[in-house]
Amino acid sequence: MAAENKALDLNALSDRSCEDLLTLARIAEAAERYEDMCKFMKKLVELKCSEKNTLSLDERNLLSVAYKNVVGAKRQSWRTLTSQDFPDVNEDVKRSYKELVEVELDEVCNEVLTLLKEGPVSLIGDDAQPEDAIFYLKMCGDYYRYLAEFSAKQDHKENTEKYYKDAFEKAKTSLPETHPTRLGLALNFSVAYYEILKKKDDACKLAKEAFDAAIEKLDTLNDASYKDSTLIMQLLRDNLTLWTSEQGGDEDAEA
The answer to whether the CB of 195 falls within 8 A of the CB of 252 is yes
pLDDT for position 25: 97
Domain 18-123 identical in fold to domain 149-246 = yes
For the chain, how many helices (H) and strands (E)?
9, 0
pTM beyond 0.85: the answer is: yes
* Vertex 122 angle, CA 121 and 125, to 5°: 90
- Model pLDDT, residue 137: 97
Q: Give me the pLDDT at residue 250, please.
A: 56
| CA angle (76 as vertex; 192, 84 as ends), nearest 5 | 105
Rounded Cα gap, residues 73 and 140, in angstroms: 19
For position 2, what pLDDT does the model report?
45
- The pLDDT of residue 11: 73
Out of 3.60.15.10, 1.20.190.20, 1.10.10.10, 3.60.21.10, the CATH code matching 149-246 is 1.20.190.20
d(CA 17, CA 6): 18
Domain residue extents for the chain: 18-123, 149-246
Q: Along the 255 residues of the chain, how does pLDDT read in single tens digits?
A: 344 556 777 777 888 999 999 999 999 999 999 999 999 999 999 999 999 999 999 999 999 999 999 999 999 999 999 988 888 888 899 999 999 999 999 999 999 999 999 999 998 877 778 999 999 999 999 999 999 999 999 999 999 999 999 999 999 999 999 999 999 999 999 999 999 999 999 999 999 999 999 999 888 777 778 889 999 999 999 999 999 886 554 566 677
Query: 21-24, long-range: CB within 8 Å, 24+ apart, which pairs?
Result: 21/47, 22/58, 22/59, 22/62
Q: What is d(CA 142, CA 64) in angstroms, rounded to the nearest whole number?
A: 11
Return the half-sphere exposure (C-beta side, CA atoms, 13 A cut-off) of residue 236: 30
Residue-level pLDDT at 85: 81
Phi–psi pair at 179, nearest 5 degrees: -70, 135
Fold assignment, 18-123: Delta-Endotoxin; domain 1 (1.20.190)
What was the pLDDT predicted at 5?
Answer: 59
Q: Please give the Cα distance from 62 to 34 (Å, whole number).
A: 10
CA–CA dist 235, 215 (Å, integer) = 13
